[in-house]
């Protein structure tokens, strides 16, 4: 890639970049990665919106799990977030996907079609209120969290390490978090994983899966089976290439916007059977 970026003339004196915003103190590495990512997937339009976990996996190879808040209890949601290490793993909070001119109605100030970083959790000692520490990557004011004003006395500030700055960081209680954000994505750190054990399969050499949708242009859905035996208890992750509606021709789009899904089936006798293919 080169170091030219798409920009637009705002007025006689100001020019702004169209995608990643360039400020007077903004380093260029983010814009360069974005341009390489856009080139990999065809153009900038192809990487508009999407899932944060997919973007992180494309850049790092990290598998991820995405949880929808709609049918999840508060206790389950808290457990899923609080048990993760935000230093090693990527925790992302996603907001509702709406038309460009719409905003989420429940929580003013929370941007639609946007991803926020989860930095950690904390339980207040005086009232056991469960808080989630979040950062808006825009790094500017918007939603300031439900812990603000009188709620931040000297004791709670010291306990949580909260500073009222303009870095986009805020605290939000668990109940409001569940309403303001529609999904939580956890991307796992693979630094210490035994990657030499990975098995890679090629769709071109596999038989076509007899599923209901075979595809009409591009790779057909295939089925793979793998049996593993292990003498120790371990967690095994399975990932597969996916495609969305923007990365295939219009004539190939599925009405339900289906993706290439991975299915994991674990047996209780220490034999794990994996198969994946068309949903």
First to last CA, the chain: 36
69, 122, 136, 209: which is the annotated catalytic residue?
136
Q: Is 114 a catalytic residue?
A: yes
Question: Which helix (H) or strand (E) is 276 found in, with range?
Answer: strand 271-277
CA distances from 94 to 115, 123, 131, 134, 177 (A): 5, 22, 17, 11, 10
Cα 260–chain centre separation: 17
Residue 250 neighbours by CB distance under 10 Å = 7
127 tagged catalytic: no
DSSP codes of every residue in 217-261 = SSPPPB-EEEEEE-SS------------GGGS-GGG--TT----E
Instruction: Considering the candidates 69, 114, 122, 209, report the single residue annotated as catalytic.
Output: 114
What amino acid positions are annotated as catalytic residues?
Answer: 114, 136
């Amino acid at each position: 890639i080169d170091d030219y970026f798409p920009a637009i003339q705002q007025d006689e004196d100001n020019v702004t970049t169209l995608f990643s915003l360039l400020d007077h103190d903004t380093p260029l590495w983010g814009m360069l990665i974005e341009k390489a990512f856009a080139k990999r997937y065809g153009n900038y339009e192809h990487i508009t919106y999407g899932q944060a976990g997919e973007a992180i996996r494309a850049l790092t190879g990290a598998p991820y799990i995405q949880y929808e808040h709609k049918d999840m209890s508060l206790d389950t949601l808290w457990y899923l977030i609080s048990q993760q290490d935000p230093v090693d793993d990527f925790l992302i909070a996603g907001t509702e996907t709406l038309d460009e001119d719409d905003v989420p109605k429940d929580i003013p100030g929370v941007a639609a079609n946007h991803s926020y970083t989860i930095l950690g959790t904390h339980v207040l000692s005086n009232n056991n209120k469960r808080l989630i520490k979040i950062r808006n990557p825009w790094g500017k004011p918007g939603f300031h969290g439900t812990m603000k004003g009188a709620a931040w006395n000297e004791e709670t500030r010291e306990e949580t390490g909260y500073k009222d700055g303009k870095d986009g960081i805020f605290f939000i209680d668990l109940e409001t978090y569940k309403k303001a954000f529609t999904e939580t994505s956890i991307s796992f750190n693979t630094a210490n994983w035994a990657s030499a054990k990975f098995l890679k399969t090629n769709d071109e050499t596999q038989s076509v899966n007899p599923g209901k949708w075979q595809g009409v242009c591009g790779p057909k859905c295939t089925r793979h089976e793998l049996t593993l035996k292990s003498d120790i208890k371990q967690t095994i992750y399975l990932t597969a290439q996916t495609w969305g509606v923007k990365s295939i021709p219009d004539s190939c789009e599925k009405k339900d916007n289906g993706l290439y899904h991975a299915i994991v089936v674990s047996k209780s006798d220490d034999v794990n059977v994996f198969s994946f293919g068309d949903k």
